[in-house]
Amino acid sequence: MLYSLLHLANVKAVDEDGKPTGQPAVSLEDIERFRQIDSKTPGHPEYRMTTGVETTTGPLGQGLGNSVGMAMAARWYENRFNRPDAPLFDYRVYALCDDGDMMEGISHEAASLAGHFKLSNLIWIYDSNRVTIEGRTDLAYSDDVESRFRGYHWHTLHVDDANDAAALVEAKSVTDRPTLIVVNSIIGWGSPNKQDSAAAHGEALGVQEVALTKKFYGWPEDKFFYVPDGVHERFAEGIGARGKAAREEWQAKYDAYSKQYPELSREFALIEAHELPVGWDNDIPTFDADPKGMASRESSGKVLNAIAARVPWIIGGAADLSPSTKTNLKFEGAGSFEYDNYGGRNLHFGIREHGMGAGGQRSRVVEFAPVWLHIPDFQRLHEAADSPLRDHGSRGHLRLHARLHRRRRRRADASADRAARVAARRAGAHGAASG
């Protein structure tokens, strides 16, 4: 669906530096190569590989975690850059999700966090078709999803007809909490023998069933990858014209803002270009060799603070471990990100490492997220999909990872010693008895 829309809306590709190339982001030939190796249209869309794809997903629930990070970053941007006479940022973040996303634990963490932070700029649309790969969801899933989300302090809406868009208008009017729209839908709608069944999830419908489905839609049965006359034009007049106007309006707003607030505008330009301000490293302390040895988390905390004080868009936090990881930003004005202080720079993820792992990955601010050395194993699946470790250089998104190991080795040594002593003692006792 994403690729089709990018194609029909005639979204243009940009190069590595974000400059338009004049080529379509997704051509019809690209769509013909869906799920083929090295195509622009992999089964799980990849950020940077295809213009218009805003995040890389794959692991279910990951995109929902990303969306909470995007919404938090949006709130932080508003706080940092908007002025009463110049509201530069006021966008919302939408995520489309499915039964699998709703079941995955990561989405529960992300939803809980979003509700706590009252992120009313976040809207999740849940395609509730009650079918997954193995069959109907009642094999393994009977949550009362809406009650659960109300418990997370979300606004919830229910839509019986997937074509009814009125709920979106209501969702946009909610100003104190995120919104979940549960949409009852039918998977594979229009396929007479496979709709509403697991067979419609990912496997090919088959030649005969494709023909029957086309018949249902009144579509020519002998045409493949077919866009009827007039469709491109209709998209250009609708979404294309609206998008162009919105873009031009924002650019004019930003140009005026740049004259009125040149320093803030320069700061925003640096963030957009993934660059750092001059003098960002002026205050980095040095540490002399010390026989007692300063713990590396101490020195790393001092370095982080020295840099963050000079780079206002370094924000981040831990999953309830910052006093221990020493990643608290302590200088004046750093503050905590809270629902009544979206400008705070210390993020408190609570004890939600999965939500933290996914949430930090789709904002342009520099984000840090420290954990103990063994915790990435626990987070890895969700980090893998969109990991800055994986494509750090290629897209310039910067994320600081701190992996700490607080004396684990020495403890392990100590317990090995203890075990050896106990074993020796037991062996001695046994020896005495048998002797």
Ligand X SMILES: Cc1ncc(C[n+]2csc(CCOP(=O)(O)OP(=O)(O)O)c2C)c(N)n1
CA distance 379 to 357: 7
Residue nearer to Mg ion on the CB measure, 131 or 371: 131
Closer to ligand X by Cβ: residue 63 or 115 = 63
Question: In this chain, which of 5, 133, 241, 429 binds ligand X, going by CB under 6 A?
Answer: 133
CA–CA distance, 50 with 37 (Å, rounded to integer): 14
Tell me how far apart the alpha carbons of residues 337 and 267 are, in angstroms, rounded to a whole number. Answer: 20
Could you tell which of ligand X, Mg ion, none binds residue 327, using a CB distance below 5 to 8 A set by kind? none
Nearest distance, CB of residue 271 and ligand X, angstroms: 31
* Cα atoms in the Cβ-side hemisphere of radius 13 Å centred on 152: 23
132 binds ligand X (CB under 6 A): yes
Residue 188 binding ligand X, by CB under 6 A: no
Q: Work out whether 186 is an interface residue with ligand X (CB under 6 A).
A: no
**Cα(193)–Cα(216) distance, rounded to whole angstroms?**
12
User: Which of Mg ion, ligand X, none lies near 133, with the C-beta cut-off 5 to 8 A by kind?
Assistant: ligand X
Is residue 99 close enough to count as binding Mg ion by CB under 5 A?
yes
Report how far Cα 129 is from the mean position of its chain's Cα atoms. Answer: 23
DSSP string, 356-424: HHHHTTS-SSEEEEEEETTHHHHHHHHHHHT-HHHHHHHH---EEEEEE-TTHHHHHHHHHHHHHHHHH
- Rounded Cα distance between 318 and 320, Å, is 6
Query: Could you tell me which stretch among 21-29, 31-39, 126-134, 211-219 binds Mg ion (CB under 5 A)?
Result: 126-134
Q: Is the Cβ–Cβ distance between 195 and 139 less than 8 Å?
A: no
Find the binding residues for Mg ion in span 129-148 (CB under 5 A). 129, 131
Whether 24 and 5 have beta carbons less than 8 Å apart is answered as no
- Segment interacting with ligand X (CB under 6 A) among 125-133, 213-221, 297-305, 414-422: 125-133
Give the chain's count of helices (H) and strands (E). Answer: 17, 10
Contact 399, 367 (CB under 8 A): yes
The smaller minimum CB distance to ligand X, of residues 98 and 367, is found at 98
Neighbouring C-beta atoms of residue 96, cutoff 10 Å: 17
319 binds, among ligand X, Mg ion, none (CB under 5 to 8 A by kind): none
Please, are residues 196 and 188 in contact by the beta-carbon 8 Å criterion?
A: yes
Stretch that binds ligand X, among 54-62, 161-169, 322-330, 358-366 (CB under 6 A): 54-62
Under rule CB under 6 A, residue 110 binds ligand X: no
The interface region with Mg ion, picked from 18-26, 92-100, 287-295, 358-366 by CB under 5 A, is 92-100
Which amino acid is residue 302, in one-letter code? Answer: K
Pick the closer one to ligand X by CB: 30 or 104. Answer: 104
Which x/- pattern over 134-173 shows residues binding ligand X (rule: CB under 6 A)? ----------------------------------------
Determine, following the binding rule CB under 6 A, whether residue 386 of this chain makes contact with ligand X.
no
Is 16 labeled as catalytic in the residue annotation? no
Q: Which two tokens stand for residue 251?
A: 């650019």
Yes or no: say if 210 and 154 are a contact pair by the CB < 8 Å rule. no
Contacting ligand X (CB under 6 A), which of 24, 68, 69, 99? 99
DSSP state of 179: E
Q: How far is the CB of 61 from ligand X (least distance, A)?
A: 6
The yes or no reply on residue 60 touching ligand X (CB under 6 A) is yes
Kindly state the tokens that stand for 302: 């001092």
Mapped onto helix, strand or coil, the DSSP state of residue 257 is helix
3-state secondary structure of 47: coil
- Could you tell me which stretch among 5-13, 55-63, 258-266, 269-277 binds ligand X (CB under 6 A)? 55-63
**Binding residue for ligand X, selected from 59, 188, 359, 360, defined by CB under 6 A:** 59
Active-site annotation holder among 104, 209, 353, 383: 353
Tell me, by CB under 5 A, how many residues bind Mg ion: 4
Q: Give contact residues for Mg ion (rule: CB under 5 A).
A: 98-99, 129, 131
Q: Give contact residues for ligand X (rule: CB under 6 A).
A: 58-60, 98-100, 104, 129, 131-133, 187, 201
Residues with catalytic function: 353
